[in-house]
A and B are shown apart, each in its own frame.
Chain A
Protein backbone atom coordinates (compact mmCIF):
# COMPACT_ATOMS: atom_id res chain seq x y z
CA UNK A 1 0.00 0.00 0.00
CA UNK A 2 2.82 2.32 0.83
CA UNK A 3 4.31 1.37 -2.58
CA UNK A 4 1.06 2.20 -4.21
CA UNK A 5 0.82 5.50 -2.29
CA UNK A 6 4.35 6.51 -3.22
CA UNK A 7 3.66 5.52 -6.80
CA UNK A 8 0.47 7.60 -6.64
CA UNK A 9 2.31 10.43 -4.96
CA UNK A 10 4.90 10.49 -7.69
CA UNK A 11 2.41 10.25 -10.41
CA UNK A 12 -0.53 12.35 -9.03
CA UNK A 13 0.28 16.02 -8.43
CA UNK A 14 -3.25 16.73 -7.24
CA UNK A 15 -3.06 14.07 -4.60
CA UNK A 16 0.23 15.50 -3.36
CA UNK A 17 -1.26 18.91 -3.06
CA UNK A 18 -4.23 17.48 -1.21
CA UNK A 19 -2.04 15.59 1.25
CA UNK A 20 0.19 18.58 1.77
CA UNK A 21 -2.82 20.73 2.54
CA UNK A 22 -4.02 18.24 5.14
CA UNK A 23 -0.60 18.18 6.77
CA UNK A 24 -0.39 21.97 6.81
CA UNK A 25 -3.87 22.08 8.29
CA UNK A 26 -3.04 19.57 11.00
CA UNK A 27 0.24 21.24 11.82
CA UNK A 28 -1.32 24.66 11.92
CA UNK A 29 -4.23 23.45 14.03
CA UNK A 30 -1.85 21.87 16.45
CA UNK A 31 0.25 24.94 16.50
CA UNK A 32 -2.83 27.04 16.99
CA UNK A 33 -3.97 24.83 19.85
CA UNK A 34 -0.51 24.91 21.29
CA UNK A 35 -0.50 28.56 20.89
CA UNK A 36 -3.88 28.67 22.54
CA UNK A 37 -2.58 26.74 25.55
CA UNK A 38 0.51 28.87 25.65
CA UNK A 39 -1.51 31.99 25.25
CA UNK A 40 -3.74 30.97 28.10
CA UNK A 41 -0.78 30.27 30.29
CA UNK A 42 0.83 33.57 29.34
CA UNK A 43 -2.35 35.40 30.20
CA UNK A 44 -2.44 33.58 33.49
CA UNK A 45 1.17 34.43 34.10
CA UNK A 46 0.43 38.10 33.53
CA UNK A 47 -2.42 37.87 35.95
CA UNK A 48 -0.29 36.16 38.55
CA UNK A 49 2.47 38.69 38.13
CA UNK A 50 0.14 41.38 39.32
CA UNK A 51 0.71 39.96 42.80
CA UNK A 52 4.18 40.58 44.20
CA UNK A 53 3.24 39.48 47.67
CA UNK A 54 0.28 38.91 49.88
CA UNK A 55 -0.63 38.21 53.47
CA UNK A 56 -3.85 36.30 53.86
CA UNK A 57 -5.88 35.29 56.87
CA UNK A 58 -7.72 32.05 56.80
CA UNK A 59 -9.12 29.07 58.63
CA UNK A 60 -7.22 25.88 58.03
CA UNK A 61 -8.82 22.48 58.38
CA UNK A 62 -6.74 19.32 58.27
CA UNK A 63 -8.20 16.02 57.25
CA UNK A 64 -5.65 13.25 57.73
CA UNK A 65 -6.91 9.86 58.83
CA UNK A 66 -4.57 9.61 61.83
CA UNK A 67 -4.62 13.25 62.92
CA UNK A 68 -7.40 14.93 64.81
CA UNK A 69 -6.66 18.61 64.81
CA UNK A 70 -8.80 21.64 65.48
CA UNK A 71 -9.61 24.23 62.84
CA UNK A 72 -6.77 26.73 63.07
CA UNK A 73 -6.53 30.44 62.43
CA UNK A 74 -3.62 30.82 60.07
CA UNK A 75 -1.84 33.45 58.05
CA UNK A 76 -0.49 32.63 54.61
CA UNK A 77 2.40 34.71 53.36
CA UNK A 78 3.51 34.78 49.75
CA UNK A 79 6.31 36.61 48.03
CA UNK A 80 7.34 36.42 44.38
CA UNK A 81 8.61 34.30 42.81
CA UNK A 82 8.19 31.20 44.97
CA UNK A 83 8.19 31.93 48.69
CA UNK A 84 5.15 30.78 50.63
CA UNK A 85 4.64 30.11 54.32
CA UNK A 86 1.64 29.10 56.39
CA UNK A 87 1.87 30.28 59.96
CA UNK A 88 -0.33 29.63 62.97
CA UNK A 89 0.22 32.78 65.01
CA UNK A 90 -0.66 31.42 68.42
CA UNK A 91 -1.26 27.68 68.22
CA UNK A 92 0.20 24.65 66.54
CA UNK A 93 -0.60 23.46 63.03
CA UNK A 94 0.66 20.54 61.01
CA UNK A 95 1.85 22.01 57.73
CA UNK A 96 2.27 19.44 54.97
CA UNK A 97 5.51 19.30 53.06
CA UNK A 98 5.15 20.83 49.64
CA UNK A 99 2.65 23.37 50.91
CA UNK A 100 4.83 25.95 49.17
CA UNK A 101 3.24 24.61 46.01
CA UNK A 102 -0.11 26.02 47.08
CA UNK A 103 1.02 28.92 45.02
CA UNK A 104 1.37 27.87 41.38
CA UNK A 105 3.88 30.60 40.75
CA UNK A 106 6.63 27.98 40.89
CA UNK A 107 5.44 26.77 37.56
CA UNK A 108 4.57 30.11 36.02
CA UNK A 109 7.85 31.70 36.99
CA UNK A 110 9.62 29.11 34.85
CA UNK A 111 7.14 28.62 32.01
CA UNK A 112 9.75 28.57 29.24
CA UNK A 113 11.27 25.43 30.73
CA UNK A 114 8.12 23.44 30.31
CA UNK A 115 6.73 21.61 27.33
CA UNK A 116 3.09 22.46 27.10
CA UNK A 117 0.54 19.91 25.95
CA UNK A 118 -3.01 20.87 25.38
CA UNK A 119 -5.24 18.02 26.51
CA UNK A 120 -8.49 19.57 25.48
CA UNK A 121 -11.46 19.97 27.76
CA UNK A 122 -12.56 17.65 30.53
CA UNK A 123 -16.11 16.65 31.31
CA UNK A 124 -16.55 19.71 33.52
CA UNK A 125 -15.62 21.99 30.65
CA UNK A 126 -12.24 22.92 32.08
CA UNK A 127 -9.34 23.31 29.72
CA UNK A 128 -6.73 20.72 30.62
CA UNK A 129 -3.12 21.70 30.02
CA UNK A 130 -0.22 19.37 30.84
CA UNK A 131 3.23 20.72 31.53
CA UNK A 132 6.33 18.62 31.34
CA UNK A 133 9.66 20.09 32.42
CA UNK A 134 12.23 20.11 29.65
CA UNK A 135 15.16 19.20 31.88
CA UNK A 136 15.63 16.26 34.28
CA UNK A 137 16.73 18.24 37.26
CA UNK A 138 13.52 19.99 38.28
CA UNK A 139 11.58 18.66 41.25
CA UNK A 140 8.33 18.77 39.30
CA UNK A 141 7.90 15.78 37.02
CA UNK A 142 4.47 16.59 35.63
CA UNK A 143 1.91 19.25 36.29
CA UNK A 144 -1.65 19.27 34.99
CA UNK A 145 -3.75 22.39 35.18
CA UNK A 146 -7.54 22.52 34.87
CA UNK A 147 -8.42 26.01 33.75
CA UNK A 148 -11.68 27.92 33.53
CA UNK A 149 -10.82 29.58 30.26
CA UNK A 150 -13.67 32.00 30.23
CA UNK A 151 -12.74 33.52 33.58
CA UNK A 152 -9.07 32.69 33.30
CA UNK A 153 -8.99 30.87 36.61
CA UNK A 154 -7.05 27.75 37.53
CA UNK A 155 -9.63 25.56 39.21
CA UNK A 156 -7.53 22.52 39.81
CA UNK A 157 -3.98 21.31 39.49
CA UNK A 158 -2.31 17.94 39.87
CA UNK A 159 1.41 17.90 40.31
CA UNK A 160 3.84 15.05 40.66
CA UNK A 161 7.21 15.84 42.20
CA UNK A 162 10.39 13.87 42.60
CA UNK A 163 10.92 14.57 46.28
CA UNK A 164 7.52 15.27 47.75
CA UNK A 165 5.20 12.83 46.04
CA UNK A 166 2.13 14.03 44.24
CA UNK A 167 -0.44 16.52 45.34
CA UNK A 168 -3.57 18.11 44.12
CA UNK A 169 -4.99 21.60 44.48
CA UNK A 170 -8.64 22.57 44.20
CA UNK A 171 -9.40 26.25 44.07
CA UNK A 172 -12.59 28.23 44.31
CA UNK A 173 -12.65 31.96 43.75
CA UNK A 174 -14.57 34.98 44.90
CA UNK A 175 -13.71 38.61 45.24
CA UNK A 176 -9.99 38.13 44.64
CA UNK A 177 -10.43 36.30 41.36
CA UNK A 178 -8.83 39.15 39.41
CA UNK A 179 -5.61 38.41 41.24
CA UNK A 180 -5.98 34.67 40.74
CA UNK A 181 -6.23 34.39 44.53
CA UNK A 182 -8.74 31.77 45.69
CA UNK A 183 -11.26 32.09 48.50
CA UNK A 184 -10.83 28.45 49.27
CA UNK A 185 -8.09 26.01 48.51
CA UNK A 186 -8.00 22.28 49.16
CA UNK A 187 -4.56 20.82 49.07
CA UNK A 188 -4.30 17.02 48.90
CA UNK A 189 -1.07 15.23 49.66
CA UNK A 190 0.24 11.73 50.31
CA UNK A 191 0.62 10.62 53.90
CA UNK A 192 2.98 7.96 55.10
CA UNK A 193 2.14 5.39 57.68
CA UNK A 194 2.11 6.70 61.26
CA UNK A 195 3.02 4.32 64.06
CA UNK A 196 4.52 4.55 67.54
CA UNK A 197 5.23 1.47 69.66
CA UNK A 198 2.51 0.75 72.21
CA UNK A 199 5.17 0.13 74.80
CA UNK A 200 6.10 3.80 74.58
CA UNK A 201 2.67 5.35 74.30
CA UNK A 202 0.97 3.05 76.86
CA UNK A 203 -2.38 3.92 75.31
CA UNK A 204 -5.74 3.51 76.94
CA UNK A 205 -7.36 0.96 74.73
CA UNK A 206 -11.01 2.02 74.50
CA UNK A 207 -11.56 0.46 71.13
CA UNK A 208 -11.42 3.52 68.89
CA UNK A 209 -7.90 3.15 67.50
CA UNK A 210 -8.25 2.30 63.84
CA UNK A 211 -6.95 -0.79 62.16
CA UNK A 212 -3.43 -0.25 60.84
CA UNK A 213 -4.25 -1.23 57.30
CA UNK A 214 -6.68 1.62 56.94
CA UNK A 215 -3.93 4.09 57.65
CA UNK A 216 -1.58 2.99 54.92
CA UNK A 217 -1.09 4.89 51.70
CA UNK A 218 -3.76 7.41 52.37
CA UNK A 219 -4.10 10.95 51.20
CA UNK A 220 -4.53 13.83 53.54
CA UNK A 221 -6.10 17.18 52.79
CA UNK A 222 -5.63 20.67 54.06
CA UNK A 223 -8.42 23.11 53.39
CA UNK A 224 -7.85 26.81 53.79
CA UNK A 225 -10.76 29.22 53.64
CA UNK A 226 -9.37 32.69 53.20
CA UNK A 227 -11.11 35.60 54.86
CA UNK A 228 -8.99 38.37 53.36
CA UNK A 229 -5.87 39.16 51.43
CA UNK A 230 -3.54 42.09 51.92
CA UNK A 231 -1.86 42.39 48.54
CA UNK A 232 1.39 44.04 47.54
CA UNK A 233 2.06 45.76 50.85
CA UNK A 234 5.57 44.32 51.14
CA UNK A 235 6.67 41.37 53.26
CA UNK A 236 9.97 40.90 55.06
CA UNK A 237 11.91 37.86 53.84
CA UNK A 238 12.52 36.90 57.48
CA UNK A 239 8.99 35.53 57.70
CA UNK A 240 9.87 32.76 55.29
CA UNK A 241 12.79 31.54 57.38
CA UNK A 242 12.15 28.49 59.55
Chain B
Protein backbone atom coordinates (compact mmCIF):
# COMPACT_ATOMS: atom_id res chain seq x y z
CA UNK B 1 0.00 0.00 0.00
CA UNK B 2 2.79 2.35 0.97
CA UNK B 3 4.63 1.53 -2.28
CA UNK B 4 1.53 2.22 -4.34
CA UNK B 5 1.13 5.56 -2.59
CA UNK B 6 4.75 6.46 -3.27
CA UNK B 7 4.28 5.60 -6.94
CA UNK B 8 1.13 7.71 -7.22
CA UNK B 9 2.78 10.68 -5.54
CA UNK B 10 5.81 10.27 -7.78
CA UNK B 11 3.57 10.31 -10.86
CA UNK B 12 1.60 13.33 -9.65
CA UNK B 13 4.59 15.46 -8.77
CA UNK B 14 6.55 14.51 -11.85
CA UNK B 15 3.80 15.78 -14.08
CA UNK B 16 4.11 19.40 -15.20
CA UNK B 17 0.35 20.07 -15.04
CA UNK B 18 0.41 19.46 -11.26
CA UNK B 19 2.28 22.70 -10.81
CA UNK B 20 -0.36 24.70 -12.65
CA UNK B 21 -2.43 24.57 -9.48
CA UNK B 22 0.42 25.81 -7.32
CA UNK B 23 1.19 28.53 -9.83
CA UNK B 24 -2.47 29.59 -9.95
CA UNK B 25 -2.64 29.85 -6.16
CA UNK B 26 0.57 31.86 -5.99
CA UNK B 27 -0.63 34.29 -8.65
CA UNK B 28 -4.07 34.79 -7.12
CA UNK B 29 -2.73 35.31 -3.60
CA UNK B 30 0.01 37.61 -4.81
CA UNK B 31 -2.39 39.70 -6.90
CA UNK B 32 -4.81 39.92 -4.01
CA UNK B 33 -2.09 41.04 -1.64
CA UNK B 34 -0.84 43.66 -4.08
CA UNK B 35 -4.36 44.95 -4.67
CA UNK B 36 -4.97 45.30 -0.95
CA UNK B 37 -1.59 46.86 -0.37
CA UNK B 38 -2.49 49.70 -2.70
CA UNK B 39 -6.27 49.80 -2.51
CA UNK B 40 -6.98 48.18 0.82
CA UNK B 41 -8.44 51.37 2.28
CA UNK B 42 -11.07 51.51 -0.46
CA UNK B 43 -11.99 47.89 0.23
CA UNK B 44 -12.29 48.60 3.94
CA UNK B 45 -14.37 51.73 3.31
CA UNK B 46 -16.78 49.62 1.31
CA UNK B 47 -17.18 47.08 4.08
CA UNK B 48 -17.53 49.78 6.75
CA UNK B 49 -19.92 51.95 4.74
CA UNK B 50 -22.81 50.29 6.55
CA UNK B 51 -21.44 51.40 9.90
CA UNK B 52 -19.91 54.80 9.45
CA UNK B 53 -22.97 56.66 10.73
CA UNK B 54 -22.69 54.81 14.04
CA UNK B 55 -18.94 54.57 14.57
CA UNK B 56 -15.89 56.70 14.06
CA UNK B 57 -13.33 54.91 11.91
CA UNK B 58 -9.95 56.53 12.15
CA UNK B 59 -7.14 55.86 9.72
CA UNK B 60 -5.48 53.92 12.48
CA UNK B 61 -8.55 51.71 12.81
CA UNK B 62 -8.60 50.99 9.08
CA UNK B 63 -4.89 50.39 8.95
CA UNK B 64 -5.02 47.93 11.83
CA UNK B 65 -8.11 46.23 10.44
CA UNK B 66 -6.26 45.54 7.20
CA UNK B 67 -3.79 43.20 8.86
CA UNK B 68 -2.39 39.84 7.74
CA UNK B 69 -5.11 37.81 9.44
CA UNK B 70 -7.85 39.83 7.75
CA UNK B 71 -6.19 39.59 4.36
CA UNK B 72 -5.81 35.82 4.74
CA UNK B 73 -9.49 35.46 5.57
CA UNK B 74 -10.45 37.50 2.53
CA UNK B 75 -8.15 35.39 0.32
CA UNK B 76 -9.59 32.14 1.65
CA UNK B 77 -13.11 33.44 1.15
CA UNK B 78 -12.43 33.71 -2.55
CA UNK B 79 -9.87 31.01 -3.14
CA UNK B 80 -11.65 28.18 -1.39
CA UNK B 81 -14.33 28.45 -4.07
CA UNK B 82 -11.78 27.99 -6.83
CA UNK B 83 -9.77 25.32 -5.04
CA UNK B 84 -12.23 22.53 -5.92
CA UNK B 85 -11.26 22.94 -9.58
CA UNK B 86 -7.57 22.60 -8.76
CA UNK B 87 -8.26 19.48 -6.75
CA UNK B 88 -10.51 18.00 -9.45
CA UNK B 89 -7.68 18.47 -11.98
CA UNK B 90 -5.72 15.72 -10.29
CA UNK B 91 -8.45 13.49 -8.89
CA UNK B 92 -10.48 13.59 -12.10
CA UNK B 93 -7.43 12.42 -13.97
CA UNK B 94 -6.67 9.58 -11.55
CA UNK B 95 -8.37 6.76 -13.44
CA UNK B 96 -9.58 8.45 -16.62
CA UNK B 97 -6.11 9.78 -17.34
CA UNK B 98 -4.55 6.34 -16.94
CA UNK B 99 -7.20 4.86 -19.23
CA UNK B 100 -6.52 7.56 -21.79
CA UNK B 101 -2.76 6.98 -21.63
CA UNK B 102 -3.21 3.23 -21.87
CA UNK B 103 -1.32 2.66 -18.64
CA UNK B 104 -4.39 1.49 -16.75
CA UNK B 105 -4.41 -1.91 -18.42
CA UNK B 106 -0.69 -2.30 -17.79
CA UNK B 107 -1.04 -1.35 -14.13
CA UNK B 108 -3.92 -3.69 -13.47
CA UNK B 109 -2.04 -6.71 -14.79
CA UNK B 110 0.36 -6.20 -11.90
CA UNK B 111 -0.28 -8.19 -8.72
CA UNK B 112 -2.07 -5.35 -6.90
CA UNK B 113 -5.69 -5.46 -5.89
CA UNK B 114 -8.01 -2.94 -7.46
CA UNK B 115 -9.07 -1.81 -4.01
CA UNK B 116 -5.47 -1.07 -3.07
CA UNK B 117 -4.95 0.67 -6.38
CA UNK B 118 -7.93 2.96 -5.79
CA UNK B 119 -6.96 3.62 -2.19
CA UNK B 120 -3.50 4.57 -3.40
CA UNK B 121 -5.11 7.04 -5.81
CA UNK B 122 -7.37 8.42 -3.08
CA UNK B 123 -4.57 8.87 -0.57
CA UNK B 124 -2.34 10.47 -3.17
CA UNK B 125 -5.13 12.95 -3.99
CA UNK B 126 -5.48 13.65 -0.28
CA UNK B 127 -1.77 14.35 0.11
CA UNK B 128 -1.81 16.55 -2.97
CA UNK B 129 -4.74 18.49 -1.49
CA UNK B 130 -2.83 18.91 1.76
CA UNK B 131 0.22 20.10 -0.15
CA UNK B 132 -1.93 22.68 -1.94
CA UNK B 133 -3.35 23.91 1.35
CA UNK B 134 0.03 24.08 3.06
CA UNK B 135 1.26 26.10 0.11
CA UNK B 136 -1.81 28.33 0.37
CA UNK B 137 -1.24 28.72 4.11
CA UNK B 138 2.36 29.76 3.57
CA UNK B 139 1.43 32.39 1.02
CA UNK B 140 -1.94 33.58 2.25
CA UNK B 141 -1.39 33.38 5.98
CA UNK B 142 2.33 33.67 6.64
CA UNK B 143 2.88 35.84 3.58
CA UNK B 144 0.10 38.23 4.61
CA UNK B 145 1.31 38.27 8.20
CA UNK B 146 4.75 39.25 6.96
CA UNK B 147 3.49 41.94 4.59
CA UNK B 148 0.64 43.39 6.63
CA UNK B 149 1.53 42.48 10.20
CA UNK B 150 -0.92 41.05 12.67
CA UNK B 151 -3.65 42.50 14.83
CA UNK B 152 -7.15 41.63 15.93
CA UNK B 153 -9.19 39.82 13.32
CA UNK B 154 -12.62 41.18 12.50
CA UNK B 155 -14.97 39.02 10.48
CA UNK B 156 -17.91 40.68 8.76
CA UNK B 157 -20.83 38.30 8.46
CA UNK B 158 -24.02 39.28 6.72
CA UNK B 159 -25.73 40.31 9.96
CA UNK B 160 -23.04 40.40 12.59
CA UNK B 161 -19.43 41.28 13.20
CA UNK B 162 -17.05 39.05 15.12
CA UNK B 163 -13.80 40.31 16.56
CA UNK B 164 -11.08 38.22 18.11
CA UNK B 165 -7.81 39.40 19.63
CA UNK B 166 -4.63 38.72 17.71
CA UNK B 167 -3.49 36.04 20.16
CA UNK B 168 -6.76 34.20 19.60
CA UNK B 169 -6.49 33.87 15.81
CA UNK B 170 -3.67 31.60 14.77
CA UNK B 171 -5.08 28.37 16.18
CA UNK B 172 -8.33 29.10 14.37
CA UNK B 173 -6.47 29.19 11.07
CA UNK B 174 -4.85 25.83 11.82
CA UNK B 175 -8.31 24.39 12.47
CA UNK B 176 -9.72 26.09 9.37
CA UNK B 177 -7.03 24.72 7.10
CA UNK B 178 -7.46 21.27 8.56
CA UNK B 179 -11.19 21.48 7.92
CA UNK B 180 -10.58 22.81 4.40
CA UNK B 181 -8.53 19.67 3.73
CA UNK B 182 -11.58 17.59 4.56
CA UNK B 183 -13.83 19.80 2.46
CA UNK B 184 -11.59 19.57 -0.58
CA UNK B 185 -11.14 15.82 -0.07
CA UNK B 186 -14.89 15.55 -0.51
CA UNK B 187 -14.51 17.16 -3.93
CA UNK B 188 -11.56 14.98 -4.86
CA UNK B 189 -13.44 11.82 -3.88
CA UNK B 190 -16.33 12.93 -6.11
CA UNK B 191 -13.87 13.55 -8.95
CA UNK B 192 -12.30 10.13 -8.34
CA UNK B 193 -15.72 8.50 -8.55
CA UNK B 194 -16.51 10.26 -11.83
CA UNK B 195 -13.05 9.39 -13.15
CA UNK B 196 -13.89 5.70 -12.90
CA UNK B 197 -16.59 6.13 -15.56
CA UNK B 198 -14.50 7.98 -18.10
CA UNK B 199 -11.57 7.41 -20.38
CA UNK B 200 -10.67 11.05 -20.65
CA UNK B 201 -9.97 13.37 -17.72
CA UNK B 202 -11.87 16.35 -19.16
CA UNK B 203 -15.23 14.71 -18.54
CA UNK B 204 -14.83 14.03 -14.82
CA UNK B 205 -13.15 17.41 -14.21
CA UNK B 206 -15.94 19.36 -15.86
CA UNK B 207 -18.63 17.19 -14.30
CA UNK B 208 -17.14 17.67 -10.83
CA UNK B 209 -16.93 21.42 -11.24
CA UNK B 210 -20.46 21.60 -12.60
CA UNK B 211 -21.80 19.71 -9.61
CA UNK B 212 -19.83 21.87 -7.17
CA UNK B 213 -21.00 25.09 -8.82
CA UNK B 214 -24.67 24.09 -8.99
CA UNK B 215 -24.66 22.83 -5.40
CA UNK B 216 -22.86 25.95 -4.19
CA UNK B 217 -25.51 28.13 -5.80
CA UNK B 218 -28.25 26.05 -4.20
CA UNK B 219 -26.42 26.31 -0.88
CA UNK B 220 -26.22 30.09 -1.07
CA UNK B 221 -29.73 30.76 -2.34
CA UNK B 222 -32.32 31.56 0.29
CA UNK B 223 -35.32 29.79 -1.12
CA UNK B 224 -37.32 28.33 1.77
CA UNK B 225 -38.26 25.23 -0.19
CA UNK B 226 -34.61 24.30 -0.74
CA UNK B 227 -33.57 25.54 2.71
CA UNK B 228 -35.78 22.93 4.31
CA UNK B 229 -35.32 20.03 1.93
CA UNK B 230 -32.01 19.65 0.15
CA UNK B 231 -29.74 22.43 1.39
CA UNK B 232 -28.89 20.79 4.75
CA UNK B 233 -27.67 17.70 2.91
CA UNK B 234 -25.61 19.25 0.14
CA UNK B 235 -21.91 18.80 0.77
CA UNK B 236 -21.27 22.34 -0.50
CA UNK B 237 -23.36 23.70 2.39
CA UNK B 238 -20.90 22.11 4.78
CA UNK B 239 -17.70 22.84 2.92
CA UNK B 240 -17.71 26.41 4.24
CA UNK B 241 -17.87 25.28 7.85
CA UNK B 242 -14.20 26.25 8.23
CA UNK B 243 -15.54 29.78 8.75
CA UNK B 244 -17.29 28.54 11.87
CA UNK B 245 -13.92 28.57 13.63
CA UNK B 246 -13.99 32.35 13.32
CA UNK B 247 -17.45 32.87 14.81
CA UNK B 248 -16.93 33.60 18.49
CA UNK B 249 -19.29 33.34 21.42
CA UNK B 250 -19.98 36.30 23.63
CA UNK B 251 -21.18 36.61 27.20
CA UNK B 252 -24.41 38.37 28.29
CA UNK B 253 -22.66 41.70 28.21
CA UNK B 254 -21.66 41.22 24.59
CA UNK B 255 -17.93 40.74 25.19
CA UNK B 256 -16.35 37.88 23.28
CA UNK B 257 -15.06 34.86 25.11
CA UNK B 258 -11.48 34.17 24.14
CA UNK B 259 -10.86 30.77 22.64
CA UNK B 260 -14.56 30.14 22.07
CA UNK B 261 -16.43 28.94 19.02
CA UNK B 262 -20.00 30.08 18.60
CA UNK B 263 -21.43 26.79 17.44
CA UNK B 264 -18.94 23.93 17.68
CA UNK B 265 -21.63 21.24 17.47
CA UNK B 266 -22.64 22.63 14.06
CA UNK B 267 -19.06 22.32 12.84
CA UNK B 268 -18.90 18.74 14.10
CA UNK B 269 -22.15 18.00 12.31
CA UNK B 270 -20.81 19.45 9.07
CA UNK B 271 -17.58 17.50 9.58
CA UNK B 272 -19.52 14.27 9.99
CA UNK B 273 -21.62 14.91 6.91
CA UNK B 274 -18.52 15.48 4.81
CA UNK B 275 -16.91 12.33 6.18
CA UNK B 276 -20.02 10.39 5.16
CA UNK B 277 -19.85 11.90 1.67
CA UNK B 278 -16.19 10.92 1.37
CA UNK B 279 -16.97 7.37 2.42
CA UNK B 280 -19.89 7.12 0.02
CA UNK B 281 -18.03 8.62 -2.96
CA UNK B 282 -14.83 6.66 -2.40
CA UNK B 283 -16.61 3.46 -1.45
CA UNK B 284 -18.78 3.64 -4.54
CA UNK B 285 -15.77 4.40 -6.72
CA UNK B 286 -13.91 1.36 -5.36
CA UNK B 287 -16.96 -0.89 -5.70
CA UNK B 288 -17.56 0.11 -9.32
CA UNK B 289 -13.87 -0.04 -10.20
CA UNK B 290 -13.57 -3.57 -8.85
CA UNK B 291 -16.28 -4.74 -11.21
CA UNK B 292 -15.33 -2.60 -14.17
CA UNK B 293 -14.17 -4.23 -17.42
CA UNK B 294 -10.97 -2.53 -18.49
CA UNK B 295 -11.36 -2.01 -22.21
CA UNK B 296 -8.91 0.87 -22.64
Answer whether A and B are interacting partners.
Answer: yes
Chosen A-B contacts, 21 in total, with CB atoms closer than 8 Å, are A66-B160, A67-B163, A67-B254, A68-B161, A68-B250, A68-B255, A68-B256, A69-B161, A69-B255, A70-B165, A90-B151, A92-B65, A95-B58, A97-B53, A191-B54, A195-B158, A196-B158, A204-B242, A204-B244, A205-B237, A206-B270
Q: Are B158 and A207 neighbours in the complex by a CB distance under 8 Å?
A: no
B64, B157, B258: the one contacting A92 at CB < 8 Å is: B64
B60, B243, B256: the one contacting A203 at CB < 8 Å is: B243
Q: Are A209 and B59 neighbours in the complex by a CB distance under 8 Å?
A: no
Expressed in whole angstroms, the minimum distance between the Cβ of A159 and any Cβ of chain B is 16
Main secondary structure of the interface of B (DSSP, over half): mixed
A92 and B168 alpha carbons, distance in the complex (Å): 14
* Contact partners of B157 in chain A: CB under 8 A: 196, 201, 203, 209
Whether a CB of chain B sits under 8 angstroms from the CB of A192 is yes
Expressed in whole angstroms, the minimum distance between the Cβ of B231 and any Cβ of chain A is 8
Q: Are A201 and B156 neighbours in the complex by a CB distance under 8 Å?
A: yes
Q: Are A67 and B241 neighbours in the complex by a CB distance under 8 Å?
A: no
A51-73 CB mask vs B (1 if < 8 Å, else 0) is: 00000000001111111111100
A193-225 CB mask vs B (1 if < 8 Å, else 0) is: 111111101111111111010010000100100
A197 and B60 alpha carbons, distance in the complex (Å): 26
A67, A92, A94, A190: the one contacting B160 at CB < 8 Å is: A67
Q: Are A91 and B253 neighbours in the complex by a CB distance under 8 Å?
A: no
Q: Are B220 and A95 neighbours in the complex by a CB distance under 8 Å?
A: no
Whether a CB of chain A sits under 8 angstroms from the CB of B267 is yes
* Contact partners of B60 in chain A: CB under 8 A: 87, 242
A24 and B161 alpha carbons, distance in the complex (Å): 61
What band does the interface of chain A fall in when counting residues whose beta carbon is under 8 Å from B? Answer: 35 or more
A64, A90, A212, A215: the one contacting B254 at CB < 8 Å is: A64
A231 and B244 alpha carbons, distance in the complex (Å): 45
How many residues of B are in contact with the other chain, CB < 8 A?
52
Whether a CB of chain A sits under 8 angstroms from the CB of B42 is no
Expressed in whole angstroms, the minimum distance between the Cβ of B169 and any Cβ of chain A is 11
A84-121 CB mask vs B (1 if < 8 Å, else 0) is: 00010011111111010000000000000000000000
Q: Are A66 and B159 neighbours in the complex by a CB distance under 8 Å?
A: yes
Whether a CB of chain B sits under 8 angstroms from the CB of A189 is yes
Expressed in whole angstroms, the minimum distance between the Cβ of B255 and any Cβ of chain A is 5
Q: Are A208 and B152 neighbours in the complex by a CB distance under 8 Å?
A: no
A202 and B166 alpha carbons, distance in the complex (Å): 23
B151, B159, B254: the one contacting A209 at CB < 8 Å is: B159
Whether a CB of chain A sits under 8 angstroms from the CB of B109 is no
A192, A206, A210: the one contacting B247 at CB < 8 Å is: A206
Whether a CB of chain A sits under 8 angstroms from the CB of B51 is yes
A215 and B157 alpha carbons, distance in the complex (Å): 14
Expressed in whole angstroms, the minimum distance between the Cβ of A53 and any Cβ of chain B is 20
A118 and B174 alpha carbons, distance in the complex (Å): 61
